[in-house]
Amino acid sequence: MMTGTEYIESLRQLKTEIYAFGEKITNFVDHPLFRPHVNAAAVTYDMAHEPEFEDLITVKSHLTGKKISRFTHIHQSREDLVKKIKMLRLIAQRTGTCFQRCVGFDGLNALYTTTYEMDQALGTNYHAHFVKFLKYVQENDLMSAGSMTDPKGDRGLRPSQQADPDMYVCVVKRTDEGIVIRGAKAHQTGIINSHYMIIMPTVALGEADLDYAVACAVPVDAPGVFHIFGRQTNDERRLEGEIDTGNARYAVVGGEALTVLEDVFVPWDKVFMCGENQYAGMLVERFACYHRQNYGACKCGVSDIIIGATTAVAEYNGVARASHIKDKITEMVHLSETLYCCSIACSAEGGKTPSGAYFVNPLLANVLKQNVTRHIYEICRLAHDIAGGFIATLPSEKDFNDAKTGPYLEKYFRGVSDVPTEYRVRMARLVENMTGGTALAESMHGAGSPQAQRVMIIRQSNMEHKKRLAKKLAGIPEQD
């Protein structure tokens, strides 16, 4: 397994083509816009070497018997599913942000189970291809980006009905050596500092959409691949200083990009679906459920820091002992731990798939993510309520350092007398950056929009069983 330093050095060996702020980026590893995301992912590598976390962050590969990172592992038990949740919360507590390896982790697990069942039913050889690739990922401790979301174009039309066929990634050529794909993947968390992207369909597909039923592994620096980095709340502050960013070392979101694929060649041994449209829906649902499982873990780890920062600001403001402040902080803890309960529940209630790998309880995973779209917003609202309006109106770090304005800011932004003004400002900036803009949007739309979860919840609800229970108690015959 790599260390964080070795991971960072491995990125330097890539030829990843990246654009941001109208420029081509030549050294993204050391660029202040990207380095926080690199640092956050590096934590997942370093913590794997810390003995106290060995049981959570490392595991024995069921394929090779070797010790590997859990981020490259295929879940072999309910215990694995639960340990995943505990690991994600732990790392989020260390970074205070998205550490980006979850999406690829979930893509690997979804493809493992789906390719197995596809091969069993259709006689294809995709599972063997995938296992070969998975061993390579485990052996080299690679970071994969889960590339599912397509731009989609007109959401009212199927992929094959789009005016522009590139709105969904599709196969444009098949040869004896492999396939050629074209299109784009949107909102790609961690793609800039990954080694591979795991291409998957984003919706269930019909017979007319065969060319869009494609899953494969593509290096992030493959010919024809380039990335356009997305804007994030307060991102320019990274170019100006430290304090105003709130979380200077790791940033506060995952570093997303639009990834363009212009006629990218993929050899057959890295193709895991090509035209098997009847299995696209299974792959999408399994990935979505694995990924929704995560949100009560990483979001709770981040919430632990938000709650701690909010409590500290209340202390610096001199109001921490007020009963209404204590009550609001208690509510923040309650909301956060409720999400964690859902993550543990959908993991503990998971089950074995035909491949032998384990899958979460899909109903509970979707209930969890639906709660995230509400509870995180309320946690952030309460943080704003408690911290006060100055988190939105603080002058810049440069003004605090200015000879003329600095002394006045030092004087008038002081809270309780025994806490330096700088500490109050630093904590306020952390609250501001962790509770606004991009971070909240990701809580809402990451792992699918709220409506996608509601569709899954009603589909998994077993409504006929519920009706039978009610009819039996009401004395209504079964046939009626």
Q: Is 295 known to be catalytic?
A: yes
Backbone angles phi, psi at 86, to 5 degrees: -65, -35
Q: Is 102 known to be catalytic?
A: yes
Helix axes 78-95, 323-348, angle to 10 degrees: 150
- Which entry of 291, 358, 373, 438 is annotated as an active-site residue? 291
- Which entry of 98, 170, 342, 380 is annotated as an active-site residue? 98
In 3D space, the residue among 162, 242, 143 whose CA is nearest the CA of residue 203 turns out to be: 162
- Which entry of 95, 189, 259, 311 is annotated as an active-site residue? 189
Q: Is 189 annotated as a binding residue?
A: yes
Q: Render the burial of 278-291: b for 16+ CB within 10 Å, e for the rest.
A: ebbbbbbbbbbbbb
Q: Is 256 known to be catalytic?
A: yes
Residue 290 in tokens: 């694995």
- Which entry of 274, 289, 298, 380 is annotated as an active-site residue? 298
Q: Is 346 known to be catalytic?
A: no
Q: Is 195 known to be catalytic?
A: no
Length of the chain: 480
Q: Is 95 known to be catalytic?
A: no
Q: Is 16 known to be catalytic?
A: no
What's the 3-state SS for the chain? CCCHHHHHHHHHCCCCCEEECCEEECCCCCCCCCHHHHHHHHHHHHHCCCHHHHHHHEEECCCCCCEEEHHHCCCCCHHHHHHHHHHHHHHHHHHCCCCCCHHHHHHHHHHHHHHHHHHHHHCCCHHHHHHHHHHHHHHHCCCEEEECCCCCCCCCCCHHHCCCHHHCCEEEEECCCEEEEEEEECCCCCHHHCCEEEECCCCCCCHHHHHHCEEEEEECCCCCEEEEECCCCCHHHHHCCCHHHCCCCCCCCCCCEEEEEEEEEEEHHHEEEECCHHHHHHHHHHHHHHHHHCHHHHHHHHHHHHHHHHHHHHHHHCCCCCHHHHHHHHHHHHHHHHHHHHHHHHHHCCEECCCCCEECCHHHHHHHHHHHHHHHHHHHHHHHHHHCHHHHCCCCHHHHHCCCCHHHHHHHCCCCCCCCHHHHHHHHHHHHHHCCCHHHHHHHHCCCCHHHHHHHHHHHCCHHHHHHHHHHHHCCCCCC
CB of 107 within 8 A of CB of 144?
yes
- Which entry of 7, 37, 73, 102 is annotated as an active-site residue? 102
Q: Which residues contact 98 (CB under 8 A, 6 or more apart)?
A: 40, 189, 190, 253, 254, 255, 298, 442
- Which entry of 129, 170, 256, 259 is annotated as an active-site residue? 256
Q: Is 378 known to be catalytic?
A: no
The type of residue at 254 is: G
- Which entry of 112, 126, 295, 358 is annotated as an active-site residue? 295
Q: Detail the residues annotated as belonging to a binding site for FAD.
A: 189
Active site amino acids: 98, 102, 189, 256, 291, 295, 298, 442
